[in-house]
Amino acid sequence: MRDHRGAFIGLLTMTLAATPACFSGSGQRTGTNGASELLIPVGTRDIALGGATVAVSRGIDALFWNPAGSAGVTNDVTVYASHMNYIADIGVDYGAVSALFRDFGVVSLHLRTLSVGDIPVTTAEYPDGTGNTFRPQFFTAGLTYARQLTDRIAVGVTGLVIGERLGEVGATGVGFNAGVTYANVAGVAGFDFGVVVKNIGPQMRFTGPGLSVQATSTDLGRGTMTYAIEAAGFELPSSMELGCGYRITPAEQTSLQIALAFESSNFADDAYRVGVEFGFRGLFFLRGGYCDSPSASDERENIFGATFGVGVHADVGTTDVTFDYAYRASKFFGGNHVFSAKIGF
């Protein structure tokens, strides 16, 4: 137990040391960050649980929520794919693959893209459109390494490449996530704890020919020339999350998972999350969750509400197959529908 506690305290200290000092419910900065696509959740089970899964998400599902949880994969190779109908007809597609190396750890690759559709090109001369269109492109690619240090402690780190392109301007950046999970805290079976910091990285900045303008200098006597506008940099939406969970078996062949989490972000109000999952024989699951931001105001309200979902798991020979569905209520544009499939070999 002492070895477990010492390793856990050391890893927790290292994780928190990477956290910016601005995490204090910075709601007054809401909407001023860049790369907001990093905040769109992926992982159908975890979405159905209200995102309260910092401590209890395991396997390939955990890549977005806490990379340390991905150390819990049980198959040599796991493949995951999902699609979300997001707000305003935006589609979010996500794919991941994890490989388990017994004496090394778990390595995962994942990619998320947004499909926005065509947008008319407008200018100052043609505010109603020029007749041309452009298609915004947003993607996030990640590489995750996770390792089970002991039977209770797991760690994980993710490196992200973030890309955005809007017409003739674009921005590229990098970010990092790091997390720790601790199972059976204080010797209590089924009681888990987790902490993660997300989207830690340098500022991003837009560049490209779309920022070039024709202008005449009044003091250099050079006539009309092409000048490049230097866009201001923008910060990533960094956050820190703490969570715990408790898993029990209320009756034979059933399971009940309760999850709680707290999130502090540098560009949003503090958030409190809760999720509950009921399982039957490890084959069928019912889920529900909720996220609340008590300090939010009318100017920066949380537009997302309760979450619900179901999951079905089956063993087909030596292959694990899982299908999940989640629904997240939204105050505007209708709710989010999320579908996913997971196959383990």
Q: What is the pLDDT of residues 133-192, one digit of tens each?
A: 989 999 999 999 999 999 999 999 999 999 999 888 999 999 999 999 999 999 999 999
Number of H helices, E strands in the chain: 2, 18
Q: What is the CATH number of the domain that holds 112?
A: 2.40.160.60
pLDDT tens digits for range 55-80: 999 999 999 999 999 999 999 999 99
* CA–CA dist 173, 135 (Å, integer): 20
Query: Would the pLDDT of 263 be above 90?
Result: yes
The parent domain of residue 9 ranges over 2-201+236-344
Count of domains observed in the chain: 1
Residue 18 CB contacts under 8 Å (≥ 6 apart), including other chains: 176, 178, 197, 200
**Residue 108 forms part of a structural domain:** yes
* Section 296-308 average pLDDT: 76
Long-range contacts of 83-87 (CB under 8 A, 24+ apart): 83/338, 83/339, 83/340, 84/40, 84/42, 84/336, 84/337, 84/338, 84/339, 85/336, 85/337, 85/338, 86/40, 86/114, 86/336, 87/330, 87/332, 87/333, 87/334, 87/336
User: Which of the four pLDDT bands, split at 50, 70 and 90, describes residue 53?
Assistant: very high
Q: For residue 224, is it within any domain? A: no
Helices (H), 167-281: none
The answer as to whether 226 is a domain residue is no
The predicted model scores a pTM of 0.88
Q: Taking 60 as the threshold, does the pLDDT of residue 23 lie above it?
A: no
Listing DSSP states for 283-304 in one string gives TEEEEEEEEE-TT--GGG---E
Residue 221 domain-assigned (yes or no): no
The three-class DSSP label of residue 186 is helix
Is residue 229 included in any domain, yes or no?
no
* Partner residues linked to 115 by β-bridges: 91, 137
209 in a structural domain: no
- Is residue 149 classed exposed, middle or buried when 0-12, 13-18 and 19+ CB atoms within 10 A define those classes? middle
**Closest among 329, 196, 266 to 35, alpha carbons compared:** 266
- CA–CA gap between residue 276 and residue 308 (Å, rounded): 10
| Residue 313 forms part of a structural domain | yes
The answer to whether 151 and 160 are in contact (CB under 8 A) is no
Give the residue-averaged pLDDT of 260-281: 93
Q: Is 256 contained in some domain? A: yes
Identify the pLDDT of residue 255. 96
What residue type is 307 in one-letter code?
Answer: T
Rounded to whole angstroms, how far apart are CA atoms 45 and 308? 9
Phi, psi of 180, rounded to the nearest 5 degrees? -140, 140
Region of poorest pLDDT, from 22-31, 104-113, 121-130, 260-269: 22-31
Band the pLDDT of 25: cuts 50, 70, 90.
Answer: very low
